Every structure is written in structure tokens, then in C-alpha cells.
Amino acid sequence: MHFHVITFGCQMNVGDSDWLTRSLVAMGYTPAPEHEADIFIVNTCSVREKPELKVYSVLGRLSEHARTRPDMFIAVGGCVAQQVGPKLWERFPRVRLVFGTDGLAAAPRAIQRLTAEPRLRISLLDFTETYPERDPAWPESTVPAQAFVTIMQGCDNFCAYCIVPYVRGRQKSRQSADVLAECRELAARGAKEITLLGQNVNSYGLDASGDGTSFAALLSQVAAIDGIKRLRFTTSHPKDLSPEVIAAFADLPALCPWLHLPLQAGSDAVLSRMGRKYDAAGYLRLVENLRKARPDISLSTDLIVGFPGETDEDFQKTLDMVARVGFESGYSFMYCDRPGVAAQRLEPKIPLDIKAERLSRLLALVDDLQAKALAARTGTRTEVLVEGPSRRPKPGAPSWRGRDPGGRVVDFEYPGLDDPTGTFVTVEVLEAKKHSLRGKAV
């Protein structure tokens, strides 16, 4: 049987899809392009409305394929599956498996059973009390130089706008021994950079599933593993960013000078209505302490415009805060109601045209900050972990792409005839593009 995976949403979904692919391959299934697939696995996101609508569009398109392929079926996983559940079967008859994040570990065996029993449908939507550990399913060959390791699942914060606790469940930390064992295995197979994943990694170990290991302690233990040259983590909640984790940026050479620290809004009134449990001054103290620990740290963020009740003054405070912090990049979105969250009941709602105008201004500011940050890198030398060939190579010279320690994309000319993918190359930065850097190997 041939299968094809389609992924929406966050890096955790990407990691989950990678694991599903490895598991199915280990069971004898074959990855295939869409036009050759017998089984489709759609890993979904419902954090915002637009990705959810994309999922329904894809399911409709895939259902059209079924007219000429009677044995084809679809598995839907992730947040939309958890939210909508078996109702997907009614709207899309070719959907035969729905599974949430806690049901992911059982999904490969469920797909195997569905292959053998054409009339069967399966739902894997129950939440578990502890992290559902799963076989990493790494193949015998080496792994990519960049690897992702999930350390926790779910969230206990219940921010007013966020659907995550409802579709991914309450926070469950993995046992530190399991995390470290996976990291050691990855390093032994060739991984050089590891990114630790979770909805709120800063609160790792604080739930009932934890084994007493703090996130700061976990960072130190992972950084000490032979072969791991770079370490990153995402996502962080500012209210749980501890002094010990901030100090790790100064104390752990492997910990990259990069942090994604969602701000969401610069107005204390909006932050309070969001239920974020920090204020603008507290966020600025975190930034100050981070830059004391690691002066070259690159900060990115998430921002929401048009939250219910946001005034022009509130929005201006967000613009001022973004400029003051000097984020190098950011993900900015217009607020939209999600089913069942507290903000759905908040008033007044902001009209779409006002939200769109505010978003346009915010995006322009973030783009300007990014352009200035990239321009400041010209003339410097940096170490790039090569991910593969450039997407738009210049004619006449081999060109490759990778990321520097600050997470910036770097395209560079490389004179060697070998393939440097997965290796570190020193690059002199010659030019700043709109969202990336360009240089040459030295």
C-alpha cells in the first residue's frame, strides 16, 4: 500500500507526521506522491480558522479521487480531528480514521487494521493522563542533521483565545530518561542539531507526569550529549521563562542564540483579557535579562491584532513594544473566534476592515525590523548548518542553503564538488535579502 501525508500547522505537527511516516515505512507501507497514494493521512491544525478551512478543502479534493479508486481511504489526525471527531465521517465518507494527538501512537496499527478490514472505521480521540510514549521508529540508516524531539504535549494555560488545551489536552511531560535516550540515539545516528518541542516547554516537568526534572536541567543534560553541536527549543510562554533557563543561554555553548517568545500584544489591558499572566514591563525584563545573558540573541514572536476590545491606543502600544524589543521576525494574525474558548464571549468584536488595517501596519513594522537585522549581518562570518541546495541558485556557481546559530536562512556559494548537506560551513555574509542572507563559503 502507498500512502501520502499532508501536514498543516505547527512544528509539533511536522514532527508527528515525520514519526507517522517512519512508523508506516517500518510496517511495510511505501510513501508516494499524491496521485499514486492508496491512503491519505491529513495531520490538521485548528488553532486558527484559516488552516481549518484549508483542511476541509483538502478533504473535499481527496474525496474526489475516490471516484476512480474504490479502495482509497483517508485518516485525519491532529487538532481538527480532536475537535470535530466522527462528524468527519458524515461529511467525508472516505475518512475512516480520526485520531487526536494522544491517539497518534496507536494510529499506525489502526491504519494497518483498516487496510485489512475495508468496512471498518476507527476513532482514537481519548485523552490520556500521561504522555503516550511511542517507538521512535528510526530506520537503520543515519538521520538528518537536524532533528526534533517532543518533550511534552498539551497545555494548562487556557489563554482566552486559544483552543490548544481543548484539542491537545492538559499538559503531560515525557520522562526525562526517555527524552535523553531519544536524543542520544539521534546523536549516535548523525544528528547535530536538536530542537526540543512542546506547547509550553518552559513548564516542562511541572505537571503530574513530570519526574522532577526542570526544563533548565533537561537543557543541560541534552547539551552534554556527545555529538550535539546545536540545541534549540520552542515554544516558550513568557510567564514560565525561569532565570535558570535564561542563564542557560550564557552557560551552554550548544544552546543557540535564538528564542521564539510569543508576546501576543503590547497592551496590559489586552494581555489581561487574553489571560496571559504577564504584563509589558515583565516581558521587557525578560528581554533585558536574555540580552544580558546572550547579547547576540535573536528574538522572534507571535502577535494577535484585533482582540476583542482592542482600541487604537492598545494597538499603538503593541507597535511600540515590537519596535522597542526589536524582534527579528514574527508571526502576526488577525484575531478570530475559535469554538468554546473564553474570548468567543468577549465584546466588542473588532470589525474586519480595522483588523486588516492594523495587521498591515504591524507586518510592515516587523518586515522593517527584520530587514535592519539582516543588513547588520553583512560583512560578518557565521557558521551555517547546511540543509540542502538553494531554492533559487545563481547561475554558474553551486549554491547551498542552511541556517546560522540565530536561525537565519543563509544561501551561499560553495566551490567544492561534494555535497555539504548536514555539515557546518563557515560563510562570509555578502548581502541581505528580504528574508534571508546571501554569502560565500570561506
- All three cell numbers of 59, joined, read 478533504
Q: What is the CA radius of gyration of the chain?
A: 22
- What confidence score (pLDDT) does residue 65 get? 76
- What confidence score (pLDDT) does residue 6 get? 95
Specify the DSSP element, H or E, that contains 302. strand 298-305
pLDDT band at 244 (very low <50, low <70, confident <90, very high): very high
CATH fold of 381-441 reads OB fold (Dihydrolipoamide Acetyltransferase, E2P) (2.40.50)
Query: Does residue 415 carry a pLDDT above 90?
Result: no
| 147, β-bridge pairs | 194
Lowest mean pLDDT among 33-47, 185-199, 367-381: 33-47
Query: Does residue 397 carry a pLDDT above 80?
Result: no
**Between residues 322 and 143, which one has the greater pLDDT?**
322
Lowest mean pLDDT among 52-56, 100-104, 121-125: 52-56
For 147-194, the pLDDT digits (tens) are: 999 999 999 999 999 999 999 899 999 999 999 999 999 999 999 999
* CA neighbor of 349 nearest in space, from 241, 252, 238, 273: 273
Query: Does residue 417 carry a pLDDT above 90?
Result: no
CATH fold of 2-124 reads Rossmann fold (3.40.50)
User: Is 59:98 a contact under the CB 8 Å cutoff?
Assistant: no
Query: Does residue 404 carry a pLDDT above 80?
Result: yes
User: Is 23:108 a contact under the CB 8 Å cutoff?
Assistant: yes
- What confidence score (pLDDT) does residue 421 get? 96
* CA neighbor of 22 nearest in space, from 140, 133, 115, 131: 140
For 25-36, the pLDDT digits (tens) are: 999 999 999 989
Query: Does residue 138 carry a pLDDT above 80?
Result: no
Given the C-alpha cell 536574555, which residue does it identify? 290
- All three cell numbers of 21, joined, read 511516516
* CA neighbor of 235 nearest in space, from 275, 258, 201: 201
- What confidence score (pLDDT) does residue 220 get? 98
Assign domain 129-256 to its CATH architecture. Answer: 2-Layer Sandwich (3.30)
In sequence order, the 6+-apart residues with CB closer than 8 A to the CB of 83 are 46, 163, 166, 167, 339
For 309-341, the pLDDT digits (tens) are: 999 999 999 999 999 999 999 999 999 998 889
pTM above 0.85, yes or no: yes
Domain ranges of the chain: 2-124, 129-256, 381-441
Q: Stretch 258-275: mean pLDDT, rounded?
A: 98
Amino acid at 298: S
What is the rounded CA–CA span in Å between residue 186 and residue 403? 20
What is the rounded CA–CA span in Å between residue 217 and residue 240? 15
Query: Does residue 106 carry a pLDDT above 80?
Result: yes
Tally Cβ neighbours within 10 Å of residue 54. 17
- All three cell numbers of 235, joined, read 515554544
Query: Does residue 64 carry a pLDDT above 90?
Result: no
- All three cell numbers of 243, joined, read 532565570
Query: Does residue 50 carry a pLDDT above 90?
Result: no
- What confidence score (pLDDT) does residue 69 get? 80
Q: Stretch 222-243: mean pLDDT, rounded?
A: 97
* CA neighbor of 12 nearest in space, from 78, 64, 72, 109: 78
Q: Stretch 97-103: mean pLDDT, rounded?
A: 94
Tally Cβ neighbours within 10 Å of residue 91. 12
In sequence order, the 6+-apart residues with CB closer than 8 A to the CB of 421 are 145, 386, 387, 388, 400
Question: Could you write out the DSSP letters of every residue in 105-156?
Answer: GGHHHHHHHHHH-TT--EEE-PPPSS---------SS---SEEEEE-EE--S
Query: Does residue 52 carry a pLDDT above 90?
Result: no
CA–CA distance from 84 to each of 17, 57, 94, 321 (Å)?
20, 15, 16, 37
Tally Cβ neighbours within 10 Å of residue 113. 12
* CA neighbor of 440 nearest in space, from 422, 396, 405, 407: 396
What is the rounded CA–CA span in Å between residue 284 and residue 201? 20
